[in-house]
C-alpha cells in the first residue's frame, strides 16, 4: 500500500479519570484506504482512544491531526464535521423504522414547510446502498425484521453516506454468523476502495490477522507495537496482547498467497 499523508494521527494521547490513568502517551495513525486493527484486552485503552477521536471524551494531553492539520474535537458534532463516524457494537438503529428513516435519522430531508420528503430519502437510500453493493429486498421493511448482517450494513451505510473519511468499527462482526460477517467484511473492502480509513476493533484474532493491513496493540493504556499485521504470526499477536511486550522478531511465518 502506498502511504501518503495519514488521514488521522493521534499523538501522545493521555487521559485521566480522576486518579485513574486510562491512557499514557498513546498514539495511532490511519492512512487512506487501509484497515487498522486496534487490539488489546478489556481495559487496554482501546475504547478510550476511539471515544476521544469520536468526540465522546477529551484527552488530558496530546493532539489529534486530520489530514496534517491539528483538530480540536470537543464533541461528536466536531468529529462528524471532520468526517469521523463510529459504529459501536450496539447498533444505534430504531427497529420500528425502515431503512431510509434510519439512514436519515437526525438529518431528515424536508421541504420549506418542514414536511418530510420521504420519496427523496428513499431514493437516496437506494443509491447509497447500491453504491456499497448492499441488497435489501424492500426499503419499506422495518429494520427489526432484517438479519443482523443487513442491520449492520444499514448502520455502515448511514455512517459513510455523509462524506465520511474515517470510520471506527467497534466489534462489527461480534454478533454475526459466518455468512453475515463475510458480508460486513466485503462491505468494508468497498469502503477501502473509496479511500476511507478504517479502525477495526475486534477480539477475533483470526479475523484481524486475515483482514487488517496494520495493527496497533495496546496494554495498560500504552502502545505495545504498531506494524503491518503480517509482520507477526497469530500466536505472536496473542502473546503481545497478553504480555504487553513486543515480540523479539517481526517476521511472519505465514505463506503469502
pTM of the entire predicted model: 0.84
Could you tell me the CATH superfamily of domain 8-97+163-243? P-loop containing nucleotide triphosphate hydrolases (3.40.50.300)
Q: Where are the domains of the chain?
A: 8-97+163-243
C-alpha 54/C-alpha 168 separation (Å) is: 8
Which pLDDT value is given to residue 7? 95
C-alpha 153/C-alpha 183 separation (Å) is: 8
Which pLDDT value is given to residue 155? 80
Question: Which mean pLDDT values do the consecutive 10-residue runs of the chain (257 residues) have?
Answer: 79 93 95 96 93 95 96 93 82 80 82 85 85 80 83 79 87 77 84 92 90 96 95 95 83 43
Q: DSSP of 232-244, one letter per residue?
A: S-HHHHHHHHHHS
Which pLDDT value is given to residue 158? 79
CB 247 within 8 A of CB 239: yes
First to last CA, the chain: 16
C-alpha 198/C-alpha 159 separation (Å) is: 12
Query: Over the range 1-19, which residues count as b (16 or more CB within 10 Å of their CB) and which as e?
Result: eeeeebbbbbbebbbeeee
Look at strands 61-66 and 69-71 and give their pairing: antiparallel
Amino acid at each position: 500500500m502506498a502511504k501518503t499523508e495519514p488521514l488521522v494521527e493521534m499523538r501522545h494521547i493521555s487521559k485521566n479519570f480522576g486518579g485513574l490513568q486510562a491512557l499514557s502517551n498513546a498514539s495511532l495513525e490511519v492512512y487512506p484506504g487501509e484497515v487498522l486493527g486496534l487490539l488489546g484486552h478489556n481495559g487496554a485503552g482501546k475504547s478510550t482512544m476511539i471515544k476521544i477521536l469520536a468526540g465522546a471524551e477529551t484527552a488530558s494531553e496530546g493532539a489529534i491531526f486530520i489530514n496534517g492539520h491539528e483538530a480540536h474535537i470537543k464533541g461528536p458534532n466536531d468529529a462528524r464535521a471532520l468526517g469521523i463516524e463510529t459504529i459501536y457494537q450496539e447498533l444505534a438503529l430504531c427497529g420500528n423504522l425502515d431503512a431510509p428513516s434510519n439512514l436519515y435519522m437526525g438529518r431528515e430531508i424536508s421541504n420549506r414547510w418542514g414536511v418530510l420528503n420521504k420519496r427523496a430519502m428513499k431514493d437516496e437510500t437506494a443509491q447509497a446502498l447500491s453504491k456499497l453493493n448492499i441488497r435489501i429486498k424492500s426499503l419499506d421493511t422495518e429494520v427489526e425484521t432484517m438479519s443482523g448482517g443487513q442491520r449492520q450494513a444499514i448502520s455502515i451505510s448511514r455512517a459513510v453516506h455523509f462524506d465520511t473519511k474515517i470510520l471506527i468499527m467497534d466489534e462489527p462482526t461480534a454478533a454475526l454468523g459466518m455468512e453475515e460477517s463475510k458480508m460486513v467484511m466485503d462491505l468494508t473492502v468497498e469502503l477501502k476502495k473509496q479511500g476511507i480509513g478504517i479502525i477495526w476493533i475486534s477480539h477475533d484474532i483470526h479475523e484481524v490477522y486475515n483482514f487488517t493491513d496494520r495493527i496497533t496493540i495496546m496494554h495498560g493504556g500504552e502502545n505495545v507495537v504498531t506494524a503491518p499485521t503480517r509482520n507477526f504470526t497469530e500466536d505472536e499477536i496473542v502473546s503481545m496482547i497478553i504480555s504487553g511486550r513486543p515480540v523479539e522478531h517481526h517476521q511472519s511465518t505465514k505463506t503469502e498467497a
